[in-house]
Amino acid sequence: MRLWPRSLAGQLIIWLLLVLMLAQVFTLLLYLGERNAVVRAANHAEVLSRTASMVRLLNTTPVDLHKRIIRSASGPRLRFWLSDKNLLTPGDHPRIKRALERMLGDGIGDIVVDIRMAGNRPFRKLRKAWRQERDGAAAHLDRQELRLRPRPADERKQKRRRRFLDLSMAVQIRDGRWINVETLVSPAAPRFAITTVLTFAAMTVAIIVIVVFVVRRATRPLGELAVAAERFGRGETVEPLVERGPKDVASAIGAFNQMREQLTAFVHARTQMLAAVAHDLRSPLTSLRLRAEMIDDNTAREKMVASLDEMQQMIEASLSFFRADGAEEASRTIDLPSLAQTVAEEFKDQGQVVHAIADDIVSCQGKPLALRRALRNLIDNATKYGRKAEVRVLVESGIAVVSVCDEGPGIPPEDMERVTAPFVRLEESRSRATGGVGMGLAIAASVAQAHGGELRLSNRDGGGLCVEVRLPVSARTTD
């Protein structure tokens, strides 16, 4: 399974989703940070307000009520107690200090503020002092007041909360003593509330759907362009594509349409011109033949007539090649084993020794008449120069292979490249007496290339030539 897609649409989708997901996570972190700051500021404001109220209350009430007031005001997350001296090391928090001074107004004593994470050693000492002061006054409290006191279970629960912020303050009241304030304030609401998670998930799904839709819509014309280019390369008739999609994609489609029209017109004009030239050569050859017949020298006359006959065969072969090359034939799915069997039966009916073997059931997209013609030429060459032909259809690495092998003398390795050129004949194995003009392999190679394939030649180990027509597979089922 390929984890990284190779298609343009797949890579664009992956990259866009990665970037957008990173942006989403970054935005979520910023949101959580801002929310934490807001909640922290609100908590600080509440603590300052309660502290200011407590200081004013202690300054205006009798001393014997102070402990009872402090006990009533203390809770699991906000603790007050009195001490004769300052137990807190001052920290650098001028903003909180100024805010408390504004709330208290004139006539207050010193104010000491510090903020540290829970678990620091100084605050463990403060909690110990608070517990000692609380236990010393417990005997004078009734049961109702004891219920207001933080329970040991609550204290253990608070100790397990690692993400608490300790805000500790000490304010000197009028009688010279210090009221100490210690808070265990959560920096924020739950970090990932259910609404936040659901919102983030909904936005993620929406982004994925939109990105996939937009990218596929933008790149779909490229896929159509690739399919059309592949079909055009196989020699199929391709209709002009609709120029749609982004500007760059539409421009590429327009350029392809223009190229298709120009190439089609060029090939058609070239084929028509060559066919016309070959056709026009018939008249001069006919005239030359008539004049050659009137030559008195029998030997010279026979040689000239033989040369003219050979030229006539070459012209007829050229005309046949150009007509077939310029013919408009619709492309369709071809069952290659059936095609090979049909052509082999035609040669068997003529008394030729031809065997057709299908190792695989395979089909390809192409022009049936053109492929039939190429296969006929290959089998004809094999039966003429190799006594018999063996036709085999198989699949190799996703490529359809139609091989035609004979038992002839084969072809020298140095001639393998040029033998597929038009009108090339090898005197050692291809006699002029057989009537060949050197177009059979050229036609087969042209047909294979027009179908997006190729023609390969090789000599067999036991003697003979093997010609392979290799074509792209459109469907395959192996027995």
What pTM value is reported for the model? 0.49
pLDDT one-digit tens code per residue, 12-38: 888 888 888 888 888 878 887 787 778
Q: How confident is the model at residue 467 (pLDDT cuts 50, 70, 90)?
A: very high
* Contact predicate 325/446, CB 8 Å: yes
Q: Per-residue confidence at 133, pLDDT binned at 50, 70, 90?
A: very low
Pick left, alpha or beta for residue 186 (phi over 0 → left; psi -120 to 50 → alpha; otherwise beta).
Answer: beta
Closest of 358, 408, 359, 410 to residue 385, by C-alpha? 408
Find, among 339, 402, 400, the residue nearest to 369 by Cα: 339
For the chain, which domains are there? 62-185 (no CATH), 194-280 (no CATH), 329-477 (3.30.565.10)
pLDDT of 193:
65
The separation between the first and the last C-alpha atoms of the chain, rounded to the nearest angstrom, is: 26
Percent of the chain clearing pLDDT 90 (strictly above): 9
Position 147 scores a pLDDT of 39
User: Under a CB-based contact definition with an 8 Å cutoff, are residues 80 and 73 in contact?
Assistant: yes
Q: How far is CA 357 from CA 351, 393, 458, in A?
A: 18, 6, 19
Residues with Cβ < 8 Å from 287, sequence gap 6 or more? none
Average model confidence (pLDDT) across the chain: 77
Strands, sheet with 178-185, edge to edge from the N-terminal-most edge strand: 78-83, 178-185, 165-172, 111-117
Specify the higher pLDDT residue, 462 or 458: 458
DSSP annotation of 241 reads P
Non-local CB neighbours of 389 within 8 Å, separated by 6+ positions: 344, 347, 352, 353, 354, 355, 378, 379, 382, 383, 404, 405, 406
For residue 285, what are its two tokens?
Answer: 């050859």
Q: How much is the pLDDT for 403?
A: 92
Average pLDDT, stretch 378-383? 90
pLDDT category, 159, cuts 50, 70, 90?
very low
Highest mean pLDDT among 113-127, 298-312, 368-382: 368-382
The mean pLDDT of 137-143, rounded to a whole number, is: 39
What tens digit of pLDDT does each residue of 173-184 get? Answer: 888 888 888 886
DSSP string covering 277-332: HHHHTHHHHHHHHHHHHT-S-HHHHHHHHHHHHHHHHHHHHHHHHHHHHH-----E
Question: Any bridge partners for residue 396, and if so which?
Answer: 399
Most confident stretch, 91-105, 119-133, 398-412? 398-412
- Point out which residues pair with 70 in neighbouring strands: none
Each residue's pLDDT tens digit, 34-78: 877 787 778 778 888 888 888 888 888 898 898 889 888 888 778
